[in-house]
Amino acid sequence: MADGEDFAPHSCGECERGPVDRPANLLPMSRGLQQPVESFRDAVLRGLALPNKSIPSRFFYDSVGSMLFERITTLDEYYPTRTELSILQQRAGEIAARLGSGVRLIEFGSGSGVKTRLLLDALRAPSSYVPIDISAELLEHQARSVAEAYPDLLVQPHHADFSSAFRPPAEPQPSSRTVVFFPGSTLGNFTAEAAQVFLRRAAELCGAGGRMVLGIDPFPAVPVPQPLRHKREADVLAAYDDVAGVTAAFNRNLLVRMRRELGAEVDPEAFSFVPRYDARCNRIESYLVSQRAQHIGVDGQVFTFRAGEAIHTENSHKYDPNRLDQLIAGTGFRVATDGLFTDRDGWFLVVLLEVVGDGSGR
The nearer residue to ligand AVJ, 178 or 185, going by C-beta atoms, is 185
Q: Does 313 bind ligand AVJ (CB under 6 A)?
A: no
Encode burial over 289-298: b for 16+ CB neighbours within 10 A, e otherwise.
ebeeebebeb
The nearer residue to ligand AVJ, 161 or 354, going by C-beta atoms, is 161
DSSP, res 75: S
Binds ligand AVJ by CB under 6 A, chosen from 188, 210, 332, 339: 188
Cβ 183 to ligand AVJ, closest distance in Å? 9
Residue with the CB atom nearest ligand AVJ in the bound state: 316
The answer to whether the CB of 331 falls within 8 A of the CB of 74 is no
Of 47-55, 115-123, 185-193, 194-202, the segment contacting ligand AVJ by CB under 6 A is: 185-193
Q: Does 110 bind ligand AVJ (CB under 6 A)?
A: no
Of 1-9, 148-156, 186-194, 353-361, the segment contacting ligand AVJ by CB under 6 A is: 186-194
Q: Does 331 bind ligand AVJ (CB under 6 A)?
A: no
The nearer residue to ligand AVJ, 45 or 237, going by C-beta atoms, is 237
Cβ 286 to ligand AVJ, closest distance in Å? 7
Q: Does 184 bind ligand AVJ (CB under 6 A)?
A: yes
Using CB under 6 A, count the residues that bind ligand AVJ: 12
- Distance, CA of 222 to CA of 335 (rounded, Å): 15
The nearer residue to ligand AVJ, 31 or 71, going by C-beta atoms, is 71
Cα angle 310, 315, 320; round to 5: 140
Site for ligand AVJ in 221-260 (CB under 6 A): 240, 247, 250
- Distance, CA of 42 to CA of 46 (rounded, Å): 6
Residues 6+ apart with CB under 8 A from 196: 327, 330, 331
Residues 6+ apart with CB under 8 A from 247: 72, 75, 240, 241, 273, 275, 286
The verdict on whether omega for the bond into residue 225 sits within 30 degrees of 0, i.e. cis, is no
Cβ 139 to ligand AVJ, closest distance in Å? 16
10 Å Cβ neighbour count for 235? 15
- Distance, CA of 319 to CA of 332 (rounded, Å): 19
3-state class (DSSP) for residue 267 = coil
Of 13-21, 181-189, 301-309, 340-348, the segment contacting ligand AVJ by CB under 6 A is: 181-189
Of 15-23, 35-43, 88-96, 178-186, the segment contacting ligand AVJ by CB under 6 A is: 178-186
The nearer residue to ligand AVJ, 70 or 265, going by C-beta atoms, is 70
The nearer residue to ligand AVJ, 156 or 185, going by C-beta atoms, is 185
- Distance, CA of 2 to CA of 22 (rounded, Å): 24
Cβ 314 to ligand AVJ, closest distance in Å? 6
The answer to whether the CB of 109 falls within 8 A of the CB of 100 is no
The answer to whether the CB of 324 falls within 8 A of the CB of 334 is no
Q: Where are the alpha helices (DSSP H) in 49-78?
A: 63-72
Residues 6+ apart with CB under 8 A from 337: none
Cβ 249 to ligand AVJ, closest distance in Å? 11
Alpha carbon 119 to chain centroid, angstroms: 17
The nearer residue to ligand AVJ, 145 or 253, going by C-beta atoms, is 253
Positive or negative: CA dihedral 106, 79, 340, 150 = positive
Cβ 55 to ligand AVJ, closest distance in Å? 13
Site for ligand AVJ in 79-98 (CB under 6 A): 80
The nearer residue to ligand AVJ, 251 or 342, going by C-beta atoms, is 251
- Distance, CA of 198 to CA of 180 (rounded, Å): 12
Binds ligand AVJ by CB under 6 A, chosen from 48, 72, 179, 351: 72
Q: Does 185 bind ligand AVJ (CB under 6 A)?
A: yes
**Which parts of this chain interact with ligand AVJ (CB under 6 A)?**
72, 80, 184-186, 188-189, 240, 247, 250, 314, 316
